Amino acid sequence: MSTWSHLNTLNASSPLMEQLIFFHDHTLMILLMITILVSYMISSLFPNKYSNRLLLEGQTIEMIWTILPAVTLVFIAMPSLRLLYLLDEVSNPSITMKTIGHQWYWSYEYSDFNAIEFDSYMMPTADLDKSGFRLLDVDNRTIMPLMAQSRILVTAADVLHSWTVPALGVKVDAVPGRLNQISFMLLRPGLLFGQCSEICGANHSFMPIVIESVIPKTFIKWINSMSS
């Protein structure tokens, strides 16, 4: 979870987020090299006392400063397009969960397991214990199995919402009357926090998301307890 002193990206909890962090670092290195090159060229002009008032064009340098940025953009665009297709890829999910956005809470349906349904509201500050997170904890956490391909179907019951979990690299718009989907795999156990990322009304800031990543054995026990 991000805190006030956190300057870097969150630790990746899914393969998608790992790829997003790799792409971020890749792009940042290219930008750093461009910044150093441009800074060197600008600084080298200061001690230069030569001038050429008759210079009208330079075909060579114009070709260089046209081709070089084009090649640089290709090196950024290719991994970006690859990531774009990976984010939309949903294949052979082990579990499917439906998420519905409301004003102002989330409801979840595990249709694979006897239609398990529950609502998830933000925990009021007065009800939190000392280990709770203010404005981030919920009364019913979303339990998901570890190392299993999970598919999330996202929609809304009233207005636009957005189901977002930064540590998973997941951000899906919840649109009334439409189903959007995303797929991910949880790599490590623990709690993953998220929030609605689409302004949806007065209590937009008070509909958090908490995913609890557990081992499959614990997940099956939880499913059995919810079914009984």
pLDDT in tens, 135-189: 888 988 899 999 888 899 999 998 999 999 988 888 999 999 999 988 888 988 8
Higher pLDDT, 34 or 7: 34
Domains and CATH numbers, the chain: 15-45+57-88 (no CATH), 95-227 (2.60.40.420)
The end-to-end CA distance of the chain, in Å, is 33
Rounded CA gap, 184 and 113, in Å?
Answer: 19
Mean pLDDT calculated for residue range 26-39: 93
Neighbours of 179 (CB within 10 A): 10
Which helix (DSSP H) or strand (DSSP E) does residue 208 occupy? Answer: strand 208-214
Full DSSP string of 49-68 = ----TT----HHHHHHHHHH
Are 16 and 192 in contact by the 8 Å Cβ rule? The answer is no
- pLDDT tens for residues 183-206? 888 988 888 999 999 998 898 989
SS3 191: strand
pTM tops 0.75: yes
pLDDT of residue 53: 67
